[in-house]
Amino acid sequence: MMPLGSAPAALILFGPPGSGKGTQAKLLRECLSVPHISTGDMLREHIHAGDALGKEVQGLMQAGQLVPDDLVNRLVAERIDRPDCARGFILDGYPRTLQQASVLEKMLQERKLDQVVVHLEVDYNVIIARLTGRRQCPVCGTLYSLTSRPPKAPGVCDLDGAKLVVRDDDRESVIRQRLEAYERQTRPLLDHFAASGHRFYQVDASHDSPQQILHKICRFLKNGA
């Protein structure tokens, strides 16, 4: 396993929708052997299960808006207290507001975990192209891209043959809402991270392949450069 640093740490993957946080999180999970915590996936699981929490967030998510801070903070707090997180974990899609960032800061201090932030920087036009071409397997969650990672047979998942779907919030009108929410509520966190004194790495994630980006992130985690 590749160490996240000398002490156990939370690796925060930060970037706009479509910047490849989920893809990098899955690749990093393999090389770091720590769990991948995606608040978006957790929320979608609740919607899928049809429980009270799922019903509460469904409308907001379909409209491309953020769900309430207290709700995601609680989900994350519960998740990181499971034993598999003791050696660190990867956060994908959290924190997304200044309030979430300060709650996370406290959670990590209490648990004696460091934080490392990786910012995936992506060109606006690249984001739009990626999100409109994105397809997902409703069964196993694998993501495909009509431009850069098409399925072997059109419209069906390589792994289980299920018919691929467009995520509800990947429709074009909703994409605009999600990018607005990012600009207004999430992007300001960059200044907060830069001022926080924690390790912070920016990587150009517009053009390189996922493997090349992974390589750069791993090199930073190892050498700090």
Site for ligand ADP contains 60 (CB under 6 A): yes
Distance CA 173, CA 63 (A): 9
* Catalytic residue status for 106: no
DSSP letter at 58 equals H
Could you tell me where the beta strands, DSSP code E, fall in 75-216? 89-92, 114-121, 134-136, 143-145, 199-204
Interaction mask 77-106, ligand ADP, x per CB under 6 A = ----------------xx-x---x------
What order do you get walking across the sheet with 9-14 strand by strand? 36-38, 89-92, 9-14, 114-121, 199-204
* Catalytic residue status for 82: no
Site for ligand ADP contains 205 (CB under 6 A): no
List the one residue from 25, 37, 61, 118 that touches ligand ADP (CB under 6 A).
61
Active-site entry in 96, 130, 135, 199: 96
Site for ligand ADP contains 64 (CB under 6 A): yes
Site for ligand ADP contains 39 (CB under 6 A): yes
Reduced DSSP (H G I as helix, E B as strand, rest coil) percent helix, strand, coil of the chain, to 5: 50, 15, 35
* Catalytic residue status for 219: no
Distance CA 4, CA 89 (A): 9
* Catalytic residue status for 167: yes
CA proximity to 43, closest of 65, 24, 21: 65
Site for ligand ADP contains 8 (CB under 6 A): no
For ligand ADP, the closer of residues 26 and 178 by Cβ is 178
* Catalytic residue status for 29: no
CA distances from 12 to 169, 177, 217 (A): 23, 23, 12
Footprint on this chain of ligand ADP (rule: CB under 6 A): 17-18, 39-40, 43, 60-61, 64-67, 72, 93-94, 96, 100, 169, 178
Q: State the catalytic residues.
A: 21, 96, 134, 167, 178
